[in-house]
Amino acid sequence: MSIQLYNTLSRRKDPLAPRDPKNVRMYVCGPTVYDFAHVGNARPVVVFDVLYRLLRHEFGEDHVTYVRNITDVEDKIIAAAKERDEPIDGLTARTTQAYHEDMAAIGTMEPTHEPRATDHIPQMIAMTERLIERGHAYAAEGHVLFSVPSMPEYGRLSRLNRQELIDGARVDVAPYKRDPADFVLWKPSTPEQPGWDSPWGRGRPGWHIECSAMSAEILGEHFDIHGGGQDLIFPHHENELAQSVCAQMTAPDSGQPFANIWMHNGYVVANGEKMSKSLGNFFTVRQLLEEGVRGEVIRLALLSAHYRQPLDITREKLVEMKAQLDRFYIALGHVADVPLSDVALPEDMLAALSDDLNTPEALAVLHELASDLNKAAAPAEKARLKGALLGAGQLLGLLQADPEVWFKGTAAGGLDEAEIESRIAARIAARKAKDFAEADRIRDELVAERIILEDRPDGTTDWRRK
């Protein structure tokens, strides 16, 4: 099935036509590791994880290369380490580990490669030297800057006019710049800042050159998909595109693009305003997990809107997502004893995701499958629908837990199963002794712990976590 993806560069859905179907290559900008990842940071991880799963299904697990970098040298990291009086390498090691733990908790697969910027400084220096040699960059007062006027096509990704490019650039006005839009490839470091020897003195790379060097090193100068959040379109991806094209070993005018398709997910918002650390209107993935929110609930919330649209995530929405997952797991729990003959992927699920990752339509397929499964009577039909629901869920990274574990597994900070069973037994004993006040007290305690009891005339038959 042909995969169509919205291309920010062309402003239309383009068919994915891999340069090499035996090695489909995707690069996604990863985290700058100086703090815990908030939910907005997690959205591109989940979005491109679903795309990674789709590509592996379509082309084969061994024929997709997914690169997501770690930015471990950047001014925000330097500032955070100074503020916390913590060594930079200790800060980046700690926050990288937390990032890995949190992304695993929301069900994301590991990328094929996860390069760290500090491991690719020689490649960044070499690319900067090549840009200088070709007249696209210049050294000035220990800095090296990319000369924006040297590339007539600059701005084609963001489609901003020159004044907008200047106004929106994350660069300082400096006397050594030849043009206000020029941006830094290399900057000098003070003795207390991280730095590496270079032809321009001891210094460190600019943010944009990092991804250009790492993607070229692992995927080559030309690859299939480049992804990230909407906020990266300008200046990061615009600058990355410019310096990568101008530094290519093949001639820049050869007609070979840097990346065939550029994909960008929309913002996660809070009350209509972009969720960000600078605004302080965010909650982290770690915070939600520690509050007892399941990772799969966070994942479903991040998939509930089309990836290019803004997404408002509230705690009320998370409660709604938990209820939807409960519905799916209840349907699977009812057929737990039905042998699974095959895990199949429904064509309508594949069609939805192949149409620019239409996850709302894909989730509608899940709901329809769950409804059909609840209505099914024949064992063969139950087995078929069970396999279809699991297969469809797998492509989204959902519904892979055992239903009983989903409902009875230990929640963060909650009662374990043995303690719950003990309290239920005590409640049953109180009811038999007609001590209804004690029975009600125990029930109220369990409700406060978010434990739902399933009472019937013949007694308490089951329980689940809310």
pLDDT tens digits for range 139-162: 999 999 999 999 999 999 999 887
Q: Is residue 323 part of a domain?
A: yes
How far apart, in whole angstroms, are the C-alpha atoms of residue 36 and residue 286? 7
Q: Is residue 152 part of a domain?
A: no
How far apart, in whole angstroms, are the C-alpha atoms of residue 16 and residue 5? 7
Mapped onto helix, strand or coil, the DSSP state of residue 414 is coil
pLDDT of residue 410: 56
Backbone phi, psi, residue 68, to 5°: -135, 120
State whether 400 and 416 are in the same domain. no
State whether 399 and 380 are in the same domain. yes
Q: Is residue 71 part of a domain?
A: yes
Q: Is residue 110 part of a domain?
A: yes
How far apart, in whole angstroms, are the C-alpha atoms of residue 398 and residue 321? 12
State whether 353 and 449 are in the same domain. no
Q: Is residue 137 part of a domain?
A: no
How far apart, in whole angstroms, are the C-alpha atoms of residue 10 and residue 284? 34
pLDDT of residue 422: 76
CB 201 within 8 A of CB 139: no
CB 5 within 8 A of CB 55: no
pTM reported for the whole predicted model: 0.89
State whether 256 and 384 are in the same domain. no
State whether 437 and 342 are in the same domain. no
What region does 228 belong to: left with phi over 0, alpha with psi -120 to 50, or beta? Answer: left
How far apart, in whole angstroms, are the C-alpha atoms of residue 102 and residue 106? 7
User: Count of CB atoms within 10 A of residue 104's CB?
Assistant: 12
State whether 357 and 446 are in the same domain. no
Among 361, 390, 407, the domain boundary falls at 407
Per-position DSSP letters for 336-393, written without gaps between them: TTS--------HHHHHHHHBT--HHHHHHHHHHHHHHHHH--SHHHHHHHHHHHHHHH
C-alpha distances in Å from residue 226, one per residue of 153, 261, 277, 408:
19, 6, 24, 40
pLDDT of residue 408: 79
How far apart, in whole angstroms, are the C-alpha atoms of residue 447 and residue 57? 43
Determine whether 196 is exposed, middle or buried from the number of CB atoms within 10 Å of its CB (0-12, 13-18, 19+).
Answer: middle
pLDDT in tens, 305-326: 999 999 999 889 999 999 999 9
pLDDT of residue 387: 96
Please list, in sequence order, all residues whose beta carbon lies within 8 angstroms of the beta carbon of residue 210, skipping any fewer than 6 positions away.
Answer: 69, 71, 73, 117, 120, 124
| Range of the structural domain that residue 357 is part of | 314-407
State whether 394 and 318 are in the same domain. yes
State whether 425 and 345 are in the same domain. no
Going by their DSSP bridges, the two strands 311-312 and 268-270 should be labelled as parallel
Residues of the chain with pLDDT under 70: 168-173, 250-256, 277-278, 409-414, 436, 450, 454-462, 465-466
CA 182 to chain centroid: 30
Per-position DSSP letters for 249-296, written without gaps between them: SS-TTSS--SEEEEEEEPPEEETTEE--TTTT---BHHHHHHTT--HH
State whether 214 and 106 are in the same domain. yes
How far apart, in whole angstroms, are the C-alpha atoms of residue 139 and residue 50? 42
User: Count of CB atoms within 10 A of residue 351's CB?
Assistant: 14
CATH of the domain at 394: 1.20.120
Q: What share of the chain is helix, strand, coil (3-state, %, to 5)?
A: 50, 15, 35
State whether 88 and 231 are in the same domain. yes
Determine whether 294 is exposed, middle or buried from the number of CB atoms within 10 Å of its CB (0-12, 13-18, 19+).
Answer: buried
Q: Is residue 176 part of a domain?
A: no
State whether 224 and 214 are in the same domain. yes
pLDDT of residue 16: 98
How far apart, in whole angstroms, are the C-alpha atoms of residue 224 and residue 33? 26
Look-up of token digits 């997990």: 289
Q: Is residue 138 part of a domain?
A: no
Among 367, 388, 407, the domain boundary falls at 407
Q: Is residue 284 part of a domain?
A: no
How far apart, in whole angstroms, are the C-alpha atoms of residue 165 and residue 151? 14
Going by their DSSP bridges, the two strands 311-312 and 223-229 should be labelled as unpaired
State whether 373 and 435 are in the same domain. no
Among 407, 425, 451, the domain boundary falls at 407
pLDDT of residue 378: 95
Which helix (DSSP H) or strand (DSSP E) does residue 239 occupy?
Answer: helix 238-247
CATH of the domain at 22: 3.40.50.620
Please list, in sequence order, all residues whose beta carbon lies within 8 angstroms of the beta carbon of residue 223, skipping any fewer than 6 positions away.
Answer: 19, 25, 26, 27, 215, 258, 259, 260
How far apart, in whole angstroms, are the C-alpha atoms of residue 154 and residue 160? 9
Q: How many domains does the chain have?
A: 3
